[in-house]
A and B are shown apart, each in its own frame.
Chain A
């Protein structure tokens, strides 16, 4: 599988600070998606960026994609305690419809 790598594995910041998570993958993709998972719960779709896009915004989220480096980053600005969760990137490749998830980043935002 081409499971992506995410770094850092864990990130602890203070409320109000920005959080940046990185995702690297191995093969060419159709699109890359970011998901959030609260502890012991299902996943929530955050944002999707297509392979021909370089940057996308959604509220306090900013995603970049560099297909030449096979990497993406997720920036959460002005973080809140409620942002505490695990964040996963997932890629879709070829003609298929399957998601391949990265290893995830555990974000903790402290008051």
Chain B
């Protein structure tokens, strides 16, 4: 399977600042990456689908101007939380998808814990 890294693994920031989270596919060229958010003891909720070279597709209820996604290369996608507020504190996880689209298996990064003070 694909090896996926995220950076940073955790970040604490002040309210109103912007935070960038990187998701890298280390051994696989990912045309599609996904960004999820997970609140404590809850399930993963898909935020957006990141496609290399094109605009991301956001899920209903996710503010595209607040959560900026850039998938500039086949190995890197970034999620920028702009003007972060305490309610944005969460665990953000990315995943990459294999080319075997029949089965849609995804490989997940280790996650980034964001705490907004």
User: Are the C-beta atoms of B110 and A42 separated by less than 8 Å?
Assistant: yes
Query: Which residues between 16 and 68 of chain B lie within 8 Å of chain A, taking CB atoms?
Result: 32, 34, 41-46, 49
Interface residue tally for chain B (C-beta within 8 Å): 27
**Chain A residues with Cβ under 8 A from B106's Cβ?**
45, 99
**Cα of A17 to Cα of B116 in the assembled complex, Å:** 41
Interface-facing stretch out of A65-73, A75-83, A100-108: A100-108
**Cα of A3 to Cα of B42 in the assembled complex, Å:** 12
Residue of B with least CB distance to A91: B104
Interface residue tally for chain A (C-beta within 8 Å): 24
Question: Does B93 sit within 8 A of A, measured CB to CB?
Answer: yes
**Chain A min CB distance to B72 (Å):** 21
**Cα of A88 to Cα of B107 in the assembled complex, Å:** 14
**Contact A42:B105 (CB < 8 A) given known A88-B44, A98-B46, A99-B46:** no
**Chain A min CB distance to B113 (Å):** 7
Q: Interface majority SS on B: helix, strand, loop or mixed?
A: strand
Query: Which residues between 64 and 117 of chain B lie within 8 Å of chain A, taking CB atoms?
Result: 91, 93, 95, 97, 101, 103-111, 113
**Contact A41:B46 (CB < 8 A) given known A31-B104, A48-B103:** no
Q: Beta-carbon contacts of A35-46 to B below 8 Å, as 1s and 0s?
A: 100001111110
Given contacts A42-B108, A101-B44, 10 further A-B contacts (CB under 8 A): A30-B104, A35-B108, A40-B91, A41-B110, A43-B44, A45-B106, A50-B103, A97-B101, A99-B106, A102-B43
Interface residues of B (CB under 8 A from A): 1, 4, 6, 32, 34, 41-46, 49, 91, 93, 95, 97, 101, 103-111, 113
CB-CB nearest 3 A-B residue pairs = A42-B108, A43-B108, A42-B110
Write 17 A-B pairs (CB below 8 A) sorted by A numbering: A30-B104, A31-B104, A33-B104, A42-B4, A42-B6, A42-B111, A43-B44, A88-B43, A88-B44, A97-B97, A97-B104, A98-B34, A98-B46, A99-B34, A101-B43, A102-B43, A104-B42
